Structure 1
Amino acid sequence: MALEIRHLRAICAIAEAGSLSQAAAALGMSQPSLTSLLQRLERQIGAPLFVRSHTGVTPTPVGEQTLRRALTLLVEFDRFESDLLGALGDGPVRLGSSQMDCLPTFVERLDDALPGLDVTVHVEPSSSVLAQALARATLDIAVIAMSDDQEVPLAKHLGHRVLFSWLPVFVGIPARHRLAGGFEVDLADLADEAWIGPPGPEDGSLTSLRAATHRAGFTPRIRFECPNGGGRHLIAAGQAVQLVEPTAPELPGMVVRPLKGDPMRMRLVLAWRKERLTWDQAENVYRAVMTSYTRHAMASTPFRTWWERRRDSQSWDGLVDFFRAAGS
């Protein structure tokens, strides 16, 4: 079997996801097909690339070496492909984004990231809608937030880079809530609360909430639906609680707290149309998002406190590398 670019992408996807099922979903193929492809690769190489366990897959030493070289090759190939195809046409660059509290800072940096270009920004709570808009060419580039245990497939012709492989999900609760005085909140202690449903429920965010609360021993009572982010006034009024992005600001009447044990996680991905933006342009946007998010995160008291408590923990999974510079 001749080695192909798709095989390198499969290796990288498996390592990134830590799971064959999630990697298969990201690649748009079935898990048995991906498993068969991996087995053929391992036979050709003559050594296992991943160790399988009930918790997922981790690279072997040979897998680590293969992964490093695959990533280097893919970066160069994607750069070549993007530069070959990328020729910005008439009209503004259409950027989509999940709801992020760092968005104003990010938008300010877009002029430097894409000099000389007009950029329009569309904020969309649904990651599926953003992915579909890219596939249909109604958006050119997007910052997409995904639940860690759910997969939003991206069209194969799109370029993409992971911004953050995982981030914790926090909770917004009323300032006068009995749990507001603590550093973190046990999800089980919110069993009797009225909840604001997460945005983009068709993406699996509601499924993720229900799965996490099921593990905590209850079913959430979803009383409010506020897809455009208007739920914080309900929280401040003492009428509801809501999952929030970890950098969400605290407002009068509302506090933001980590969930004990990080039972829910999210990740951020940048995706773009290769025929619309070159690799260097996508790289500039990538750096603008990373810089905006990290600086915004470290200016957030709840997030910074959470980070300081975990920066030396093995469970930190390398996230400290993203925030160390912003925190120093």
Structure 2
Amino acid sequence: MELELRHLRTVRAIADAGSLTKAAASLGLAQPALSTQLRRIEKALGGPLFDRDHTGSRPTPLGELVLERARVLLPAVRELQEDAVRFANTWANIQRFRLGGTHGPLLGGLVDRLATALPTTPVTTYTTWSVGEISTMLVEGRLDFGLIGTCGQSSPPATDRLTWQLVGVDPVFVMLPESHRLAGRTELELGWLAGECWTDVPGEGCFADCFAAACARAGFAPVSVYETDTASCVHLVQVGRAVGLCRATFPPTPGIVTRPLAGAPLSWRHLLGWHPGAPAADAAVTVSGHTRGAYTDAVARSESYPAWLASHPRFGATS
């Protein structure tokens, strides 16, 4: 029998699980089938790879050697496969921009700026609530650049394979209907909204936990939180069914005012990402400049954010 990568994955699975029974379950095999496969692998490699008894399976010295090599080979093959997929997805169509975003305020502005500066270069977009999906598509070469947001100081995904550049940091504001009793205030204490229902858009990461923690520090738990799309969030606020959480760059909207929270208990980071080994990485400086321009435009469109930034220098665009 000739040794294959799947055999190394089997050996690693047994070592990781510590027993054939657990390894068989993780691999979706019956234990007798896994035992038979292991015997064939051991025959091909010249000796037993595991000492097995009622307490489990432990690598023999030969097994340790095989595992040591497998820990080098398997990640290298995975990286080769990712590079090949990315190359196949990008090499033939370098003269275009494929942009991904997580429903933030910058994607439209970036498309507008690229279309204006490079009118003959095609631009396509893809949106999702999942930062993980955006990062996977960047790694695989199915997107050239991704615009995502992360809560507070939480790290973006795949930092070992992708380059992430911080564009700006915003506080989280509150959306109120114009008729709300607090709409005339220039700044709100979170505790003043203790009896309200809330609405925001869904997403991955720690934002929901951070919001719950901020409310707890303010002495209350939210009555309810409606997670839904942006248009539905806006509607719920306009009709007075809820108050909303939004980025400070949320554009002016009829019937709604946005107000900062005292002490800025919640923040949001805007990030631009790309794969440093992809052909499109050569355009990163250009795309980064246009992204910063789109962010500056978004700040300027806000009714209240520019004045707030003047006294809160740790927020806003990054240099």
Q: Return the TM-score normalized by structure 2.
A: 0.65
**1:52 aligned residue:** none
Q: Which residue matches 1:317?
A: 314
Name the amino acid aligned to 1:93: F
The correspondence of residues 55-70 of structure 1 with structure 2, limited to 5 A, is none
Give me the whole-angstrom Cα distance separating, in 2, the residues matched to 1:277 and 1:229. Answer: 36
Asked if 1:105 corresponds to 2:102, the answer is no
2:274 is matched with which residue: 266, 272, 277? 272
Query: Aligned match of 1:141 in 142, 145, 151?
Result: 145
Using the TM superposition, give the Cα deviation of residue 134 of structure 1 relative to its aligned residue in structure 2, in angstroms. 2.1
Question: 1:236 Cα shift?
Answer: 0.5
Q: Distance in 2 between matches of 1:130 and 1:320?
A: 22
Query: Does the CA-based 8 Å contact 1:96-1:122 persist in structure 2?
Result: yes
Partner in structure 2 of residue 26 of structure 1: none
More deviation, 155-164/273-282 = 273-282
Match of 1:181 in 2: 184
Tell me the number of residue pairs that the alignment of Structure 1 and Structure 2 aligns. 231
CA distance in 1, matches of 2:140, 2:207: 23
1:210 Cα shift?
A: 1.1
SS of 1:231 mapped into structure 2 = helix
Match of 1:153 in 2: 157
Displacement after TM superposition at 1:288 (Å): 0.6
Which residues in structure 2 correspond to 1:121-140 (within 5 Å)?
121-140=125-144
2:197 is the alignment partner of 1:194: yes
- Are residues 1:306 and 2:305 paired? no
Partner letter of residue 110 of structure 2? F
Instruction: Render the CA deviation track for 1:57-89: whole Å, top value 9, x for unaligned.
Output: xxxxxxxxxxxxxxxxxxxxxxxxxxxx99743
Specify the alignment match of 2:10 in structure 1: none
| Structure 1 residue 170 corresponds to structure 2 residue 173 | yes
C-alpha spacing 1:214/1:133, structure 2 compared with 1 (3 Å): farther
RMSD over aligned Cα, in angstroms?
Answer: 2.6
1:177: Cα distance to partner?
0.9
User: For 2:106 and 2:265, how far apart are their aligned partners in 1?
Assistant: 23
Match of 2:122 in 1: 118
CA contact (8 A) 1:197 1:206 kept: no
SS of residue in 2 equivalent to 1:108: helix
The normalised TM-score by structure 1 is 0.63
Which residue is 2:297 aligned to? 295
Cα displacement (A) at 1:186: 1.0
CA separation in 2, counterparts of 1:212 and 1:238?
A: 23
Between structure 1 and structure 2, the one with the greater Rg is 2
CA distance in 2, matches of 1:288, 1:95: 13
Task: Name the structure 1 match of 2:221.
Answer: 219
SS of the counterpart of 2:92? coil
CA deviation map 1:174-228 (0-9, x unaligned): 111111101011111111111114420x322211211211221222233422135
Distance 1:154 1:229 in 2: 30
* Percent identity between the two aligned chains: 31
One-letter amino acid of the structure 1 residue matched with residue 197 of structure 2: A
On the 8 A contact 2:201/2:230 being kept in 1, the answer is no
State the shift of 1:114 in Å. Answer: 5.7
In 1, distance between residues paired with 2:230 and 2:285? Answer: 29
SS in 1 for 2:210: helix
Unaligned runs of 5+ in 2: 1-86
8 Å contact from structure 1 (residues 149, 208) kept in 2: no
Measured in 2, the distance between the counterparts of 1:182 and 1:117 equals 46
Q: Which residue number in structure 1 is paired with residue 234 of structure 2?
A: 232
Contact 2:299 2:306 in 1 (8 A): yes
SS at match of 1:94: strand
Q: Secondary structure at the match of 1:96?
A: strand
Runs of 4+ aligned structure 1 residues displaced above 4 Å come to 85-88, 112-116, 318-322
Q: What is the CA-CA distance between 1:132 and the residue it aligns to?
A: 3.0
Aligned to 2:286: 284
Give the distance between the partners of 1:153 and 1:215, measured in 2 at CA. 29
Assess, with a 3 A threshold, how the Cα gap between structure 1 residues 283 and 189 changes in structure 2: closer, same or farther.
same
